């Protein structure tokens, strides 16, 4: 088990990110007029302005210009979640703002290089310094929140016990797609939140840390990803719909831009590394051949769109429909598949390992890998109808 007292990795590297400071929302413009946000494109890509207080409310809980920030939404205007969870989410969003600044920094080049620090026999990928710094940023924020019992991270072999009275458990992939950093391709942070299992409190620390982290995805109370791209977007669910917030860099606030994302029932895009076509099973090859010829249930030719950044590929799929997949045992059930499938289901889609609903699976180890298929409900039903879609061989390239 990891110790929460371990010195942060960023103390061991020469680069320390210089973070942006944000002006107050009450700041005045140079002309002396009250600060006004400019028109902002929504996550759906149709040029919508940020949403004002829900239902046109002018209550004091809304920000001073009428737009709804993330914390206002979860605390008062929208989900009305418990105060402890609001505190935790505030610390998580702050961590993600720091990571967004780090990813965009011109000084992160050396942090994108692989370290070779993965443990011998470990199920984890070899981390890069940027992964480790992101991990330390999240851990620090969770510690300061005072609301987390244990954090399980894709970057650590074992979970980190934080405090005995923390009501929540957080699982996270701190920086998904970090291999793309040098090419300025989108990356993301993924996290899921569970309640601490109080019935385990009398177990040894290492055992209760692991068992709390191995909860089924069906027990998630919240899950989110943050996309670091041309915009920084936080997409979250609390089990009753999926909402998206876009970071306003002028104020430092995540602003509500889509209160209810609904994935189209079918799309016209599939996202997969089809350079591996000849490694695929027959069922998956038949499905791809069928839809790209326009001979599937939806009689239009599908197009391939593949970024090789899970958060980015999924975000596009949520907005435009279709399927995003990795058919081999590569993606992690605890840190990636469960949180993202929860988000997709709450937007009206489906997450599957090719045979079973992801959220019905019981994890047996922290870094357990599996195939992952997510997307529009009708597209997923058609894909799974081909039966043999899980890639069982992995020739010629590393996991």
- Enumerate the active-site residues: 123, 131, 154-155, 173, 175-176, 336
- Per-residue tokens: 338: 């469960």
CA torsion, points 102, 105, 109, 114, in degrees to nearest 10? Answer: 10
Could you give the CA distance from residue 180 to residue 17 in angstroms, rounded to a whole number?
Answer: 19
User: Chain centroid to CA 301: how far?
Assistant: 29
Strand partners, 187: 228
Q: DSSP assignment of 204-251, as one string?
A: -HHHHHHHHHT--GGG-SEEEEEEESSSEEEEEESSS-EEEEEEETTT
Token pair for 352: 């599957």
CB 82 within 8 A of CB 101: no
At 350, which helix (H) or strand (E)?
strand 350-352
| 96 touches 142 (CB < 8 A) | no
Q: From the CB of residue 178, how many other CB atoms can be counted at a distance below 10 Å?
A: 24
Residues in CB range of 259: below 8 A, 6 or more apart: 51, 54, 78, 241, 243
Q: Are strands 160-161 and 323-332 parallel, antiparallel or unpaired?
A: unpaired
Measured at the CA of 254, the angle between CA 335 and CA 64, to 5 degrees, comes to 155
Torsion-angle region of 252 (φ positive above 0: left; ψ -120 to 50: alpha; else: beta): left
Asked whether 272 and 313 are in contact (CB, 8 A), the reply is: no
CA atoms within 13 A on the CB side of 62: 17
Q: Residue 209 CB: number of other CB atoms within 10 A?
A: 25
Burial of 4 (0-12, 13-18, 19+ CB in 10 A): middle
């Amino acid at each position: 088990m990891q110790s929460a007292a371990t010195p942060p990795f960023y103390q061991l590297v020469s680069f320390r990110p210089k973070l942006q400071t944000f002006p107050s929302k009450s700041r005045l413009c140079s002309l002396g007029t009250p600060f006004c946000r400019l028109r902002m494109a929504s996550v759906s890509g149709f040029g919508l302005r940020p949403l004002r207080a829900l239902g046109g409310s002018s209550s004091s809980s809304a920000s001073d210009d009428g737009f709804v920030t993330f914390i206002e939404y979860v605390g008062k205007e929208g989900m009305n979640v418990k105060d402890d969870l609001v505190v935790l989410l505030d610390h998580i969003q702050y961590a993600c703002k720091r990571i967004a600044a780090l990813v965009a920094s011109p000084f992160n080049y050396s942090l994108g290089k692989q370290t070779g620090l993965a443990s011998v026999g470990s199920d984890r990928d070899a981390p890069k310094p940027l992964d480790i710094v992101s991990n330390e940023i999240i851990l620090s924020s969770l510690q300061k929140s005072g609301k987390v019992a244990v954090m399980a991270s894709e970057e650590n072999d074992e979970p980190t016990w934080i405090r005995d009275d923390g009501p929540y458990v957080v699982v996270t992939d701190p920086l998904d797609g970090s291999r793309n950093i040098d090419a300025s391709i989108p990356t993301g942070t993924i996290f899921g939140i569970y309640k601490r299992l109080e019935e385990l409190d009398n177990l040894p620390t290492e055992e209760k840390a692991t068992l709390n982290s191995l909860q089924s995805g069906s027990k998630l109370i919240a899950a989110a990803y943050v996309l670091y791209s041309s915009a920084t977007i936080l997409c979250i669910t609390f089990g009753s719909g999926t909402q998206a917030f876009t970071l306003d860099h002028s104020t430092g606030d995540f602003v509500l831009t889509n209160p209810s994302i609904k994935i189209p029932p079918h799309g016209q895009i599939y996202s997969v590394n089809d350079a591996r076509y000849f490694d695929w099973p027959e069922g998956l090859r038949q499905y791809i051949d069928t839809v790209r010829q326009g001979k599937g249930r939806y009689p239009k030719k599908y197009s391939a769109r593949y970024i090789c950044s899970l958060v980015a590929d999924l975000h596009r799929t949520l907005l435009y429909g279709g399927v995003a997949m990795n058919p081999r045992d590569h993606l992690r059930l605890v840190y990636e598949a469960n949180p993202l499938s929860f988000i997709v289901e709450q937007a009206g889609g489906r997450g599957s390992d090719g045979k079973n609903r992801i959220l019905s699976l019981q994890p047996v180890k922290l870094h357990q890998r599996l195939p992952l298929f997510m997307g529009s409900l009708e597209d997923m039903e058609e894909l799974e109808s081909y039966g043999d879609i899980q890639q069982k061989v992995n020739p010629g390239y590393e996991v």
